[in-house]
Amino acid sequence: MTAQYQTINPATEAVIDTYTLQSDAEARSQLDATHQAFLKWRDTSMPERGKVLKAVARLLRERKDDLCALMTEEMGKPIAQGGAEVELCASICEYTADNGADALADEARELEGGRALVTYQPIGVVLGIQPWNFPLYQVVRYSIANLMAGNGVLLKHAPNVWGCALALASVYRDAGLPDDLFAVLRIEASQVAALIERPKVRGVTLTGSPAAGAKVAAKAGECLKKSVLELGSNDAYLVLHDADIERAVATCVQGRINNNGQTCVAAKRFVVVDAVYEQFRDAFVEQMAAIEYGDPTDPDTQLGPIARKDLREKLHNGVINSIEAGARCVTGGEVPDGKGFFYPSTVLENVQPGMPAYDDELFGPVAALIRAKDDEDALRIANDSRFGLGGGIFSRDEARAVRMARERFDTGMVNINGYRLAQPQLPFGGVKDSGYGREHGGFGIREFVNAKTVMIVD
């Protein structure tokens, strides 16, 4: 019997659609077709590739309402937040189209007795394994750079957002991308290893958990193939002694509940120095407690459901285990009755090492308050993590905050006095258990190309 997968609306628990999974043979056949499409695409000029990417941007904006509704239906994103994701995707397409040729331009180098050049050439089919939390952006982030570089792209998306995957594939096709150059695989995680082993897969990129990243990286390494990993984190936001508390509170609340708290680079641990701890805590808890979860299709809703039932259970277990280890829940922390996988905005205080709220990534609207003795202690606590994706610093002394971020904050990205997500022109990625490699900003387009040396002897 052919295996099937049902997508579930996390707000209503209603079945959205039923998909038939592809066999290993069908996945291999799609890989072969994508490889054949790549062989033609690599000879397409940069300007022609750029035209297709510009058309993708235009269609994303034209179909924004439908795409937003689909994201809300499949993973519960508040409808008011979907437009920003679509716009980010369109901006990535435009930035890559405008700057890709320069990022991959041949470079002249000196050579005794002649001359040399370094040229950046496509390598083949890149397999992307992507999560559900930003169902359009996660795909656009890796696929657009690789398409501009001349590669073919396969997508193994999270099954609960297969509708979004197929909708994006339709946008690419309608924008003029050749058939099979970008293809969606409806396969299970257990089928990925065999696909990585295929010679026509030349690179692998994954966004997901450290455990999933370790497995994919091990298989890619076994097959001598490059991988890029963007994994989880428990980003620390430091509130220093001279912070603008009103600004810090408002920013940290939004940084914690955006996308229902299901963001790898969300603000998660709030490290507040003793001098301003009570002031920050009282205002922060008040604002978090005032946030009500509700129907994600309502434009006024700030907090929708967790994407799946099992994910809500994992989140709640992290909260309960932290409380049992000594944390104090000051608001939220209880699974509500009724339909939907909702979880209230939650604040845990007295969070210490050894607790899930301190050590792990709680993927939902749960904030961990951690008290620091002073500014130096706050930075120590921030770096006391196996993760290193992002983080933030709030201080009126901007120059000092920048120095701390630049020289001592052990993460891939740092916000100063604000909270920003990915930007097309800036590198995105982390260190330690948050992965390796970079995307965006001209960095991602060079991850899966052959930096080839050509030496011309006079």
Which tokens belong to 385? Answer: 């993590």
**Farthest-apart Cα atoms in the chain, separation:** 78
Q: Find the length of the chain.
A: 458
Our measurement of the distance from residue 202's CA atom to the centroid of its chain's CA atoms, rounded to an integer in Å, reads 22
How many Å apart are CA 441 and CA 427, to the nearest integer?
A: 5
Relative to beta strand 201-207, strand 226-230 is parallel
Q: Are 149 and 105 in contact (CB under 8 A)?
A: no
Side chain identity at residue 219, one-letter code: K
Instruction: Indicate the DSSP class of residue 293.
Output: B
What lies within 8 Å, CB to CB, of 106 at 6+ separation is 117, 118, 119, 120
Active-site choice (85, 230, 361, 447): 230
Kindly list the distances between the CA atom of residue 436 and the CA atoms of 208, 316, 425, in Å, as whole numbers in the listed order: 12, 29, 18
Relative to beta strand 114-122, strand 449-457 is antiparallel
Query: Contact, 19 vs 162, CB < 8 A?
Result: yes
Specify whether 164 is catalytic: no
Phi, psi (rounded to 5 degrees) for 184: -95, 130
117 phi-psi bin (left φ>0, alpha ψ -120 to 50, beta other): beta
**Amino acid residing at 224:** L
Report yes or no: 47 and 268 within 8 Å, Cβ to Cβ: no
- DSSP symbols for 35-99: HHHHHHHTTS-HHHHHHHHHHHHHHHHHTHHHHHHHHHHHH---HHHHHHHHHHHHHHHHHHHHH
Q: Which two tokens stand for residue 160?
A: 């609960």
Radius of gyration of the chain (CA): 23
Indicate which residue of 73, 264, 349, 447 is catalytic.
264
Give how far Cα 241 sits from Cα of 56, 217, 281, Å: 46, 41, 14
Query: Whole-angstrom Cα distance, residue 448 to residue 343?
Result: 39
264 annotated active-site: yes
Tokens of 256: 């914690």
Question: Which active-site residues does the annotation give?
Answer: 230, 264
